[in-house]
Amino acid sequence: MANEKLPKAILISGFTDEEIRELLRCYRENKKLPRTIFATVTETALEWKVKDWLKELEEEDRYFKKQLKNKNGEK
């Protein structure tokens, strides 16, 4: 992944659900900020290397974008 472009991602740890919702709301309201993958730290993710975690997040993001397109009837 050294030569690959890393995805824009924010890894969240230690926040309450309410704090996370507020963080996401504020981020999304700021139209100057780029589209970003958000992820909360899980017990499983704690065992992963960051580069592997980012790769997994990027693959999940692609999958969910495709699902959303299919749901909306886009090609």
> Please, which residues bridge with residue 12 across strands?
40
pLDDT (tens digit per residue) in 27-71:
999 999 999 999 999 999 899 999 999 999 999 999 988 988 888
Residue 23 phi, psi dihedral angles, 5° rounding:
-60, -50
- 41-65 b/e (C-beta count within 10 Å ≥ 16 → b): eeeebeeeeeeebbbebbeebeeee
| In the block, residue with structure tokens 């963080």 | 23
Helix (H, G, I), strand (E, B) or coil at 48: coil
| In the block, residue with structure tokens 């730290």 | 41
Q: Is pLDDT above 90 for 20?
A: yes
Q: Is pLDDT above 60 for 2?
A: no
pLDDT of residue 6: 84
The residue ranges of every structural domain in the chain are: 9-71
